[in-house]
Chains A and B, each alone.
Chain A
Amino acid sequence: MTKYVTKFGSLDSYEKGGIEIINDDPKHYVFSNIFEVANSSKPWEKVAVGKNMEYVIEAIRAQGTSEWRTCAHDEFPTVLDGEVTIELVKLDKPTLAADHPGSVKLKDEPVGKKMGRIVLRRGHQALLPANSAYRFTAKKPGVLILQTIHGDDTIERWADICLS
């Protein structure tokens, strides 16, 4: 009986696939690897690895404690490597217009009721509810991807991260 081994990637260990072009431009496939991107990112940098009109998926290097952020719509982090703790606070006074895209950094500590805490490990996905404040902590370097909308702090460096 074959013992199957499921291959996930990590910061320390990943293999990158590739594109064999027959009649096209490799840039059209916007091909990158999340672990490679996170390996060359600063902690908590929000680097877009996917973009479909206003929507993005950001690859984020989780390391140390992030700033507090808030967003007018739901966002969804998924941890692909390491362990990340999320703290959530219900803001007494949400600061963003209802249609503000993406998250923004809070200048000060959030004011409001504590909503709770979540600990995510590899493969775990969480909800960051609209109009809450959130902060991530990772004791060791890890990686998460964030389903969100292109915001003020989304970084696009496609030429650096994509096959061409």
Chain B
Amino acid sequence: MTDVKATKPNLQGYKDFSIGGFHFRRDEFFAHITWPTGKHVMSADTFLRALQRDVAWDFFYGTVNFDHVFGTVNHYGNVDMFAGRFNDAYRKAELDHTENFESPVLKQTFEAMLDDWTNASFDPFASPAETDKPFGQKKGSNTSAVTRRRVAAARMVGVPGDEKIRTDKTHPINRMFADVPQDEPEVYPEPGFEKDVAAFSLFAYLSRSDVTWNPSVVSICKASLYCPTTEEYILPIVHGNDRVDWFIQLSDEIVWDVQDRDSGAPRAKVTMKAGDVAAMPADIRHQGYSPKRSMLLVWENADPGLPERISKGLASVHAVQF
């Protein structure tokens, strides 16, 4: 970790971090961010939950807005870190600021900050009902939680040699999914076809997820990725699309606030119930609210050329014209 610029612990026990013109400091309650043209304060809770996703997802697709001011834009290899870039008032006042970094360089600083600022009893991936508060002076660390391996199947979960199904031993059923049937499909391969004849219970798999708002790949058809996730409370980031993404609500209900990607102006409120399918256009940002833990199938097109075709107007920001 020689490239990470960090200070000695401050009075509250947390290190300051800096990279480029950005400086990060945490105290008992807040993350304080400064850059050459301004400064910003966020709740440590919101900041750490967003930082956790940004780190775990390798900056994800498109924009990860930590809130209405601060965030990152992924260019897949390099990444912009910005303040005020997708905020109309900051843009008009010309106070917005963006710096570009090689992805591994920024990631290293983010990882070190996440590890140092997360106390032993806080898990940024967990529902707030299932973890302690992140506040107070530094008390231990939770490295195993903040460095969870990202689950990504090569073909499909449950195929021999691929990601394994979840069991009581490692993944107990979540309290809010206690009623989800746990039966697995009946699979009868003929001799020699054990690797190709495969199935698993997606619902049982998701009922055992110990994280929230963390899409992980369960099946792959070329660049088409099924990235289901379990959701409870609020998506800790506001996701700005660089391509269309799709939602299939598998259980329960989520309400989505949809805003213009660049200005943040409200565009729609989408309520999704079990069986509902909706596209999120490539020019929006969105944040979801899930009153009860729910199963959401996020469907992504991982074609690396897609964002550029959309930004150049060669492909539509809308999924379908009708």
Contacts and interface: CB of A to CB of B under 8 A. Distances in A.
B151 to A, nearest CB: 15
A74 interface: yes
Interface string A106-150: 000000011111111111111101001000000000000101110
A33 B197 CA distance: 30
A52 interface: yes
Interface residues of B, number: 79
A55 B223 contact: yes
A23 interface: yes
A156 B189 CA distance: 34
A119 B185 contact: yes
A19 B198 contact: no
B152 interface: no
Given A24-B258, A118-B197, A145-B248, A125 B274 contact: no
Interface in A58-102: 73-76, 78, 80, 88, 90
A34 to B, nearest CB: 5
B177 A118 contact: no
B270 A17 contact: yes
A148 B184 CA distance: 23
Given A52-B224, A118-B185, A127-B196, A19 B268 contact: yes
B127 to A, nearest CB: 13
A6 B179 contact: yes
Contacts of B145: none
Contacts of B269: 19-20, 22
Nearest to B318: A28
A7 B276 CA distance: 12
A24 B177 CA distance: 35
B315 A53 contact: yes
A125 B265 CA distance: 39
Contact of B219 (A5, A9, A76, A119): A76
A51 to B, nearest CB: 5
Given A119-B185, A124-B185, A159-B322, A9 B202 contact: no
Contacts of A49: 248, 277
Contact of B196 (A55, A115, A122): A115
Contacts of A3: 178-179
Interface string B267-294: 1111111111111110000000000110
Interface of A: 3-9, 14-24, 26-36, 49-53, 55, 57, 73-76, 78, 80, 88, 90, 113-127, 129, 132, 145, 147-149, 156, 158-159, 162
10 contacts: A21-B267, A30-B277, A50-B299, A51-B320, A57-B248, A57-B277, A74-B156, A76-B226, A88-B197, A122-B203
Given A30-B279, A116-B193, A156-B320, 10 more contacts: A9-B273, A15-B274, A20-B268, A20-B271, A30-B319, A33-B275, A52-B246, A52-B279, A52-B299, A127-B199
